[in-house]
Amino acid sequence: MALETTLFSFKISVPFEQWAAVYDSGENKQLMKEEKIFCLYRGIKKEDSSSAVVIEQAEEGKSNAMFSNPEVRPLIE
């Protein structure tokens, strides 16, 4: 299966530092490792600190599937 790079831009409901702590947590890193999803970048939009930007690389469809999973989506936001 081919690799794809996916850019996500979305609103977060907590300060970026708090959001990043969850994204960078050991639990999330392990989940991403198991799913073979690699984070290329994570940050905030310069003009809007309540909007996060994440760029991930994975097998086609994997990042989108995780991002849209109803159980995972609240954790992302």
Q: What is the pLDDT of residues 31-60, one digit of tens each?
A: 899 999 999 999 999 899 999 999 999 999
> How does 4-38 read in b/e, with b if 16+ C-beta sit within 10 Å?
eebeeeeebeeebeebbeebeeeebeeebeeeebe
Encoded amino acid at 31, one letter: L
- Report the pLDDT value the prediction gives residue 25, as an integer from 0 to 100: 92
Predicted model pTM: 0.85
Domains of the chain in start order, with CATH, are 3-76 (3.30.70)
